[in-house]
Structure 1
Amino acid sequence: MATAAGSRQLRDAMVAFSLDGAFPEDIAELPPVSETDLQPTIDALAKTKIELETQIHTINKETRDDVSSWVKNAKTLQEDIIRSKTIANDIVRQSEAPDVSGEAIEDAEAKVDFLNREVQYSQQVHSVLRKVKQVNQLLSDVETARNERRILDSLRLLEQSWAAIDQVGVSKSCRIMRLLDLRSFELKSDVHDVFDHVWKALICVDVEAGRVAIYDSLDDENMSLPDAVIGLKAYKEVDERMEQLWRNLDAAIVSPRMDITKSTIPAIKVEANELELQGQANASVAALLSDLETVFVFVARKLPSDLLQSLSSVMMGDVVPKLIQQWLNPAVPSSLTDMTNFQAMVERTRTFCTALRDSGYTGFDELTDWASKAPTTWLGKCREYALDTVRTNLTKGIGKPKQVEKVEKHMVSLSEGKELATTGAGAAADTNEWGEDWGDAWDDDNEEQGAEDSQPQPESGPDKEGTEDDGADAWGWDDDHAAEKPREDANVAAAAAEDDSADAWGWGNTDTTVGPDAGERKKHESAAGKARKEETRELVLKETYNISSMPEPVLELIFAILEDGAVLTKDGDDYELVSSTAPGLFSLPTFALALFRAISPYFYFLDVGGNMFLYNDAMYIAEKLSEFSSAWKQREN
């Protein structure tokens, strides 16, 4: 019911609006159209239309006689007005010439009017014929100039003939006008053919032979290259011809010279009026820019400036992106190794841009921006190389494992050494591969230890011969330091040699001196023993473990980048072009490590022992970075 009521409301509103222009006061009462059946409304509007048409037809029938009468009366009234005006004119005329009858005056006026019309018609015909003759003569002159290859004169005469045709003042549908238009169109086409022939003679391109010739004028032609500009503008072919010229020039000269995929690149030879591919060119960017500059300067010197502007818009849009993407960007080094050549290349690019600007070219802003942003480009290349190196090394997988050694150094006192000896920390460390002779240092015979400590020991390390049998060396004790101690400390150490723990740490010394008073010696021993407990020495712990082949290339890359940054900071004058990028260069190791951290777990998990190598490699990288950082802080530069 709600739907039917809504349909009726909408129907009544639409009918009322159509008939009387009325609309409901409250539009909110109307139901939404999308939810209402519109068919009743459509039917009501159709019915109302039929009723209105019926009413109009009825009214027309009822008032037809009245309307016809009104029209007839209006026409009669108009005729009366005209007749009244005529009578008035006759009265005025008769009043001015009372002796002449109105009929004679009318006859004379008719004759005069006829003669005037005849004279005007004859004058119009004479004027049209004279103009037609002028147009025909101009077209004949065009034909003569065309036969003599005077293209410029032909075009000028054609333009005059078109203007003369427009001034004839006769409808273009007239037969004589159609004939004149047809002849002018045919002559325009014939002149264009001759113009095209002369243009190709002035600008001759042989793509197969790699040769381009541009002549200012030819002896057997009456049109010069500057004159050709008028022809191109007349035919509105400036842009089209310049685009065609560039395509031919590019196919014949530029593209073969810029084709970096070929093993041999042809060189460009320039003469007074010709460009030709000849010989073999150097594959360097500098040689390419030199050849391109030769080509562009030659074209700018030969072509009129009006044509050069149109040529620039097409030429630079092709050459500049190809030059940057295929030659300049690949030549950007990824480090300071080839920076001298890079700086020279950037400077040569700027010189090339200056030559283009001086020659009148436009549209090479992208190349100018590349030269001005070369430091940023180099930094981007370094970043790209760094990240690509990390990705490439990771894709190679874990590779062949490598055994490395981890060294930890701690300062311990004698009491701590005894505690380590009694708690078996040495044995525990041995299980962790901190050295094969860990426990041997604690089991040496007292006399042997004392004898070893009494002799000056050379500096030893993990690669010295005999360290596996020397317990003190396994702990990293500095025997030279013991030899430099005062004689009193040596005597006290000798007196305490009976202590096994002290022997294990290497504190004993067999080089003892027997004093005259044993009591005094004991006092010295007591005081020295207390000081000895407080003395500390460096404890060196070593561990061997395996790493994969992934960390070392990353570390080498990071160290190389930081060294380049240091060189830029120190020798900025030698690398003036990119010296400002040093802060950005120092940030690259962070990116490399972040990428390694982000994607390396995937490649580790591809191997059976990947989790172990992931942990070991992370520890190894952290240790090496810490060592490098410590050494870096000690650098003077």
Structure 2
Amino acid sequence: MAPKVSDDVVCQAIFKFLTDGSFPEKEAIVSAEFPPTAAAQELRQISKAREDVENEISALSRETASDVDGWISQAKQLHEDIERSRSTAREIVRQHEKGQQLQSQATDASKKVKLLENEIAFNEAVTRNLEDIRTIDRRIGSVQMAIEQDDLETAMGLLEEIEMLMKTTGLPSTTPVLRILSESVAGLRSTMATVLRQKWNSLVKVDPELRQITVIASTTDSPASLALVLNALTKLDMLGSVIDSLYRDIYSFILNPILSPSGSESSALSRDGDSIRLLPLPSAPNPTDIFDTLLSFFKYLQKRLPSTVTSLLTAKLSPPMISSLISQKLVPSIPTGVDGMGEFQAILDHVNRFSQALSKIGCPGSNDLATFTQQLPRLWINQRRVKSLDQVRVALSASTGETRQVERVETEQVSQKDQVFAEKAHDDWNAGWTSDNEESAEKAIQKEPAVNEEEDDFSAWDIDEPDAVEPESKDKPDDEVGDEDADAWGWGDEDEDAGPSAEPSKPDNSSGHVNGGTAGGQDSPRREVTLREFYTVTDIPDAIMGIIASHVSDSEKFTTPEYSKLQIASSGPALLALPTLVIAMFKAVAPMFYSQKFAGGEMFLYNDSVYLAEQLRLLTERHNLSRLKPDIEAIEKFGKIAYSREMQSQRTILSDLLDGSQGFANCSAQPYLGECENAVSATVDRVRHIHREWQSILSPSALLQSIGSLLSTVINKIILDIEDLSDISDAESQRLAAFCNQISKLEDLFLPEPQPGQDTSSGQTEVVPMTAMYVPNWLKFQYLMNILESSLADIKYMWTEGELKLEFPPEEVTDLIKALFADSDHRRRAIVEIRRTSRIS
């Protein structure tokens, strides 16, 4: 009897069949030999438990055997059902495996079909490409044949088809066949471009040698016309380069000779059939003729060339042509003077007509001509300004160095009982003065002894010393004049007030006079004294004044009815600003030219500046030009700076020469004696050389002032050097006195000029030098010589009874006594007496 199978075991077997498609054998079901899964174990446990129950039940149910047989029959039925299910599952698995095989076969078949389709498409593409290649090759041959037959239209059409086929073909650009075809097409295009260029050159010819241009619409032996060639050039993108080449040829060989003729020749156009030729004319070029020539040339181009060419060509030709026409013809034709503006007005009218004609034929750039007409006043004044500056440069560079004497007249109101007149009335050298010749008297009044060298410099031109100038001292640096190099160029003259005032100095007559005067402080009667002097100027100031006078004259012309209607009449006021520019230019370049052209150039520059200022002042008064007053002051200051610069230079030279004496130490022993002698001799020679050089340049009063200032510098240095000596022996004292005496001989440079009618040949009239009037420290220098040669008693007498105390302070006298004399009771008593009397006085 078969073992019993529990329901759970059957359920588990059915579950396994349903999950993995397998069905256990009957024995496995009975023995429940399934994979040791958790569910199987549970089922096994349940089965075991049931077996135990069944065993118990079996024992209990033997009596109920009929019921067990029913169960067995059901189990068999279940087993049959399980077998049927197993066979069904196997059939399902077999059918599944068969479906997968059929699916694989279908996939392989579809791949083969797709491969065949790709091969067919590739073969079709290769066929099309081969057909395109054959078509392109045939078209290339056709283009070459059309070019040989001079059929440009057909050749151009075929070339466009070839280029289109090259773009639409499916072959990659790196394909060797396509690369070969591309090279063939490029060569064909180059051949086509060469042929078109030749056709263009045969239709539009520019002959450089004949200066001729020829435009042929078509040729008799060729069907190619200018329009057809232009169409082909446009399709090949060659029209721009062809127009550029034509523009360069036309401008170089046609327009440029018209606008910039060589020499005095002009050009005219001659029309001969299809050609227009440029013919040279011997006459000077005229702007109006140039306008007509250019207009006829543009009309020829407008008539012979298609509009596509003329629009591009004129757009390139017009701007440079009009610019060159304005800069090279119209601007140079503007007259710098006022008188020629009437003739230039006719040129302006022609310019307007020319501009309108260009606008009609479509030439751009005509607005530039209208702008030129509107800006004519500004252009005229700019050209006038440029010419003025150039005239100043030419006046300076072309100067022949010619000089002439000019008279300077100054009139002053002075008191008849002035102290100077009273003191000088008894001088022997003043005995020849008369009322007709009062030059020396004026010198005595106006040229009072200066306090120091700087005052001498400024008093040479009769001006007040500026407050900024400090008195010279032994420690004052060499650059005391200040930054004169910058002032010499005139930069900042209007803003700086470092220079001397332009106001002429006047003697102070407010105080009472020693010899005479009215009671109660009333002013004494006054008289008019006129100073007439001659000084030397070059030809440069007259040239500068000519330039300035022309500007003033032309400015006044614009106020007359004849010139007030001119287009440039609005520039009249601007002309009055040009003299300032002329003066600034003169100040900028004059120092360089004067130093190169003239010996004593700075003094010539000073004289010319003074003369130029006087002439400007007369011009200002005559034409009521108050705006030139600052310029007059600037040029006066400029001249003063030149004078002061030259004086400072000469002072430096003299000081350097005296430095060779090494302060006159040990001047009685060699080699110091020789050095001192050389230094003093060189200084004296230098002063005399300067006097000879300036004598022909400066006025007598300015000459005496300048030489007096230089001599004052020499004397001041000698006095300081001697006072610095702590011990002076008797031999050194004699040598120093000899050196001072050698310097004193320079007083012959200050002899007054002989008066008219005065007989100086007989020697009866004693001429007294005026050294003390122009050398401030001259009397002090004379007393120094006396001190060097005098005894202690004589020095004491000169101090107590004489006028030594008026020139020397007590400290300097006592220092000299200590240096000259050994320590003794006499020296001590003399020093005490000098100090005592100085305190009393």
TM-score bin (small chain): 0.5 to 0.7
Q: How does 1:619-634 map to 2 (within 5 A)?
A: 619-633=610-624
**3-state SS, counterpart of residue 239 of structure 1:** helix
Deviation string 1:45-94 (CA, Å, 9 cap, x unpaired) is xxxxxxxxxxxxxxxxxxxxxxxxxxxxxxxxxxxxxxxxxx99994996
* Alpha-carbon separation, structure 1, partners of 2:171 and 2:400: 94
* Alpha-carbon separation, structure 2, partners of 1:126 and 1:140: 21
Q: CA deviation at 1:342?
A: 3.0
The one-letter code of the counterpart of 2:224 is M
Q: CA deviation at 1:160?
A: 1.8
On the 8 A contact 1:198/1:221 being kept in 2, the answer is: no
The one-letter code of the counterpart of 1:390 is V
**3-state SS, counterpart of residue 209 of structure 1:** coil
Aligned: 1:329 with 2:331: yes
On the 8 A contact 1:214/1:274 being kept in 2, the answer is: yes
418-427 vs 287-296, greater mean Cα deviation: 418-427
Q: CA deviation at 1:547?
A: 3.0
On the 8 A contact 2:356/2:366 being kept in 1, the answer is: no
**3-state SS, counterpart of residue 163 of structure 2:** helix
Match of 2:89 in 1: none
**3-state SS, counterpart of residue 338 of structure 2:** coil
Q: How does 1:319-358 map to 2 (within 5 A)?
A: 319-320=321-322, 322-358=324-360
The one-letter code of the counterpart of 2:244 is E
Aligned: 1:154 with 2:155: yes
Match of 2:549 in 1: 559
* Alpha-carbon separation, structure 2, partners of 1:199 and 1:273: 15
Match of 1:597 in 2: 587
* Alpha-carbon separation, structure 2, partners of 1:232 and 1:624: 73
Deviation string 1:458-496 (CA, Å, 9 cap, x unpaired) is xxxxxxxxxxxxxxxxxxxxxxxxxxxxxxxxxxxxxxx
* Alpha-carbon separation, structure 2, partners of 1:607 and 1:137: 92
Match of 2:464 in 1: none
On the 8 A contact 1:312/1:363 being kept in 2, the answer is: no
The one-letter code of the counterpart of 2:161 is Q
Match of 2:297 among 295, 298, 304: 295
Aligned: 1:212 with 2:213: yes
Q: CA deviation at 1:240?
A: 2.3
* Alpha-carbon separation, structure 1, partners of 2:320 and 2:329: 14
Q: How does 1:268-307 map to 2 (within 5 A)?
A: 268-271=269-272, 273-280=274-281, 282-307=284-309
Q: CA deviation at 1:171?
A: 3.5
- TM-aligned CA distance change 1:173 to 1:573, over 3 Å: same
Match of 2:573 in 1: 583
Deviation string 1:520-545 (CA, Å, 9 cap, x unpaired) is xxxxxxxxxxxxxx999998775554
On the 8 A contact 1:217/1:225 being kept in 2, the answer is: yes
* Alpha-carbon separation, structure 1, partners of 2:163 and 2:547: 76
The one-letter code of the counterpart of 2:405 is Q
On the 8 A contact 1:397/1:604 being kept in 2, the answer is: no
Q: CA deviation at 1:598?
A: 3.5
Match of 2:599 among 588, 604, 608: 608
Q: How does 1:166-245 map to 2 (within 5 A)?
A: 166-174=167-175, 177-178=178-179, 180-245=181-246
Deviation string 1:129-176 (CA, Å, 9 cap, x unpaired) is 554454345445433432332324322321122112322323445565
TM score, norm. by length of structure 1 = 0.58
Deviation string 1:317-343 (CA, Å, 9 cap, x unpaired) is 654554444433333322213222333
Q: CA deviation at 1:607?
A: 2.4
* Alpha-carbon separation, structure 1, partners of 2:304 and 2:315: 17
The one-letter code of the counterpart of 2:337 is S
TM score, norm. by length of structure 2 = 0.45
Match of 1:432 in 2: 439
The one-letter code of the counterpart of 1:620 is Y
* Alpha-carbon separation, structure 2, partners of 1:274 and 1:197: 18
* Alpha-carbon separation, structure 2, partners of 1:575 and 1:93: 115
- TM-aligned CA distance change 1:106 to 1:264, over 3 Å: closer
Match of 1:570 in 2: 560
Q: How does 1:94-113 map to 2 (within 5 A)?
A: none
Deviation string 1:246-304 (CA, Å, 9 cap, x unpaired) is 23223432233344333433322235632202251641222223222332343344344
- TM-aligned CA distance change 1:182 to 1:624, over 3 Å: closer
The one-letter code of the counterpart of 1:383 is R
- TM-aligned CA distance change 1:94 to 1:369, over 3 Å: same
Q: How does 1:432-581 map to 2 (within 5 A)?
A: 432=439, 544-571=534-561, 574=564, 576-581=566-571
**3-state SS, counterpart of residue 155 of structure 1:** helix
Unaligned runs of 5+ in 2: 1-94, 443-523, 626-841
- TM-aligned CA distance change 1:123 to 1:310, over 3 Å: same
Q: CA deviation at 1:198?
A: 1.0
Q: CA deviation at 1:590?
A: 0.9
Q: CA deviation at 1:386?
A: 1.3
**3-state SS, counterpart of residue 222 of structure 1:** strand
On the 8 A contact 1:309/1:362 being kept in 2, the answer is: no
Match of 1:262 in 2: 263
On the 8 A contact 2:381/2:574 being kept in 1, the answer is: yes
- TM-aligned CA distance change 1:632 to 1:434, over 3 Å: farther
* Alpha-carbon separation, structure 2, partners of 1:553 and 1:149: 75
* Alpha-carbon separation, structure 2, partners of 1:427 and 1:252: 82
**3-state SS, counterpart of residue 399 of structure 1:** coil
Q: CA deviation at 1:563?
A: 1.0
Identity %: 24
Q: CA deviation at 1:558?
A: 1.0
Q: How does 1:20-39 map to 2 (within 5 A)?
A: none
- TM-aligned CA distance change 1:117 to 1:269, over 3 Å: same
On the 8 A contact 2:319/2:364 being kept in 1, the answer is: no
Q: CA deviation at 1:348?
A: 3.5
On the 8 A contact 1:313/1:362 being kept in 2, the answer is: yes
* Alpha-carbon separation, structure 2, partners of 1:89 and 1:234: 71
On the 8 A contact 1:433/1:542 being kept in 2, the answer is: no
Unaligned runs of 5+ in 1: 1-86, 96-101, 436-533
On the 8 A contact 2:203/2:215 being kept in 1, the answer is: yes
Match of 2:388 among 386, 389, 393: 386
The one-letter code of the counterpart of 2:262 is T
**3-state SS, counterpart of residue 276 of structure 2:** strand
The one-letter code of the counterpart of 2:276 is L
On the 8 A contact 2:265/2:280 being kept in 1, the answer is: no
- TM-aligned CA distance change 1:223 to 1:535, over 3 Å: farther
* Alpha-carbon separation, structure 2, partners of 1:411 and 1:88: 149
- TM-aligned CA distance change 1:370 to 1:164, over 3 Å: same
**3-state SS, counterpart of residue 552 of structure 2:** helix
On the 8 A contact 2:388/2:582 being kept in 1, the answer is: yes
**Structure with bigger gyration radius:** 2
* Alpha-carbon separation, structure 2, partners of 1:224 and 1:236: 18
The one-letter code of the counterpart of 1:268 is L
Q: CA deviation at 1:244?
A: 1.7
Deviation string 1:400-439 (CA, Å, 9 cap, x unpaired) is 3333444556789xx969999998797487253899xxxx
- TM-aligned CA distance change 1:383 to 1:89, over 3 Å: farther
